[in-house]
Structure 1
Amino acid sequence: MRVTVLGASGAIGRLVVQQLLDYGHEVTALVRSPAKLALIHTHLTVVTGQLSDRDAVERAVSGTDAVISALGPSMKRSTTGREVTDGTRAVVKAMETEQVTRFIGLATPSLADPQDRPHWKHKVLPVMAGLMFPNALAELKGMTAAVTDSDLDYTIARITVPTNKPATGRIRSGFLGHDRIGSAMSRADIAAFLVSQLTDARYRRAMPAISN
């Protein structure tokens, strides 16, 4: 399968790229700085560019079977603007133009899925995020809406506390108030879940919460 990875040079994105290559997929990575990806492979194509670069986004998406986004907003309180939201909109537009329908990405339980039941995370996390990281929360809402308001065949995994612990292979997934989902999750397991969604149809057009 041909897979485009966004945010490929980030902590989760690099793991996604490596796992895809380990499984034998053809990977196209859109990155600002190829040096940060620090990976060379015969099945890896690197497209240099930013999300605001329409030509680079279209090159990265062209001919792909799916897009996996490990993008997330900056957690710096000084950050302003809607770079990730606008970039995600550009990706969605490019996917529609190239007739690529499968999108797999990330968000947090600060955003609810219609299949959730009332849960403390719906009340606590948005308040905390709004006070501590207001721009990041606005970006999460914007980038998620750009996908969920489209006709794309999406799965957006909601994570709470990513860690750098080794992969466990133990992944919980489901909807708040229905399923027993914790908070902490290793980035390696997050990457494994994202990659698994290429062939798993359980969460099509849904936003499952995931944890170890």
Structure 2
Amino acid sequence: MKTIALFGATGPTGKHIIEEALKQGYSLSVYTRDAKKLESFAGRVEIVVGDLSNQDAIAKCINGADVVISALGPNGLKVQGDKPVMRGLTNIIAAMKHADVHRLIQISTAAYRDPKDSFAFKAHAFALLFKVIARKGYEDIKATGELIANSDLDWTLVRIPNLKDGPANGNVNVGWYGKTKLSMKLSRTNLAKFLVNQVEDKAFVRAAPAIADR
């Protein structure tokens, strides 16, 4: 049984990731600043408490894991400090290297451009609007993507549109902006299923696919 170290677990998407990973038979080491937010999973997952600057706690979460899934992203429109997600991932990547863990699956958005992308009006407009209304968040996502893509890890950046609640029906399109028909909506449960599937699926190693509901 493989173990997943999960970061960003207490957001609206994180709990779906936990449920999907347990459903698929994985064990979980889950990182959080507030263990109370994961009370419903007590006894079913290992809970490690700390913030993204606590290198010892991050190492504890990752040690013994086979893969890291990160649902970390800017928290709303007000980003505290300079690129907090990128700085957190810097600590996570350092802990991964120390623990000899190579697989990293990270949520991203169209703010990170992939060389395989062509011009896509909706995705470009979405990224531009986000840049205007939440510049710090946009820059954090972009810098986080670049940090991971330039690492020597077996990484996958899963680029997402607007998230919504909905069933995990698996009806998604996956590809690159400007080359694949991609809507601007994605259910959190479909995202969770896709993320967990990447633990074994090697099709998108060192790639940044975009995903959306059909």
Shared topology, TM-score over 0.5? yes
**1:82: Cα distance to partner?**
2.1
Residue of structure 1 equivalent to 2:212: 211
Question: Could you tell me which residue of structure 1 aligns to residue 112 of structure 2?
Answer: 111
2:59 aligned with 1:58 = yes
- Cα gap change, 1:5 to 1:36, in 2 (>3 Å): same
- Distance (whole Å) between structure 2 residues aligned to residue 82 and residue 112 of structure 1: 18
Deviation at 1:39, TM superposition (A): 2.6
RMSD: 1.5
Single out whichever of 18-27 and 37-46 deviates more from structure 2. 37-46
* TM-score, with structure 2 as normaliser: 0.94
Q: How far did 1:9 drift?
A: 1.1
Range with bigger deviation, 122-131 or 12-21: 122-131
| Structure 2 equivalent of residue 124 of structure 1 | 125
Gaps of 5+ in 1: none
SS in 1 for 2:189: helix
- What is the rounded CA distance, in whole Å, between the counterparts of 1:176 and 1:78 in structure 2? 27
Give 2:32's aligned residue. 31
Residue in 2 aligned with 1:190? 191
Residue 153 of structure 1 aligns with which residue? Answer: 154
Change (3 A) 1:94 1:172: same
Letter in 2 for 1:189: N
- Residue 78 of structure 1 deviates from its aligned partner by 6.3
Greater Cα shift, 111-120 or 129-138: 111-120
Is the alpha carbon distance of 1:21 and 1:119 closer, same or farther for their aligned partners in structure 2, counting shifts above 3 Å?
Answer: same
Q: List alignment gaps of at least 5 residues for structure 2.
A: none
Q: Distance in 2 between matches of 1:25 and 1:2?
A: 6
How many angstroms apart in 1 are the aligned matches of 2:93 and 2:105?
12
- Rounded Cα–Cα distance in structure 2 between residues aligned with 1:127 and 1:19: 32
Partner of 2:47: 46
Q: How much does 1:42 deviate?
A: 4.2
> Could you tell me how far 1:205 is from its partner in structure 2?
0.5
Q: Structure 1 residues 170-179 or 58-67, which shifts more?
A: 170-179
- Do the aligned partners of 1:77 and 1:132 also contact (CA within 8 Å) in 2? no
Q: TM-score, normalised by structure 1?
A: 0.94
Q: What residue is the counterpart of 1:74 in the other structure?
A: 75
Deviation at 1:41, TM superposition (A): 5.0
Instruction: Name the SS of the counterpart of 2:51 in structure 1.
Output: coil
Distance 1:82 1:139 in 2: 5
Q: Secondary structure, in 3 states, of the residue corresponding to 1:52?
A: coil
- The alpha carbon displacement at 1:118 in A equals 2.1
Distance 2:80 2:87 in 1: 15
Give SS of 2:72's match. Answer: coil
Aligned residues: 212
Deviation readout 1:110-158 (Å, 9 max, x if unpaired): 2211111222245323321121001100110122222111101011111
Structure 1 runs of 4+ aligned residues shifted over 6 Å read none
1:181 positional shift: 1.4
Contact 1:116–1:176 (CA under 8 A) maintained in structure 2: yes
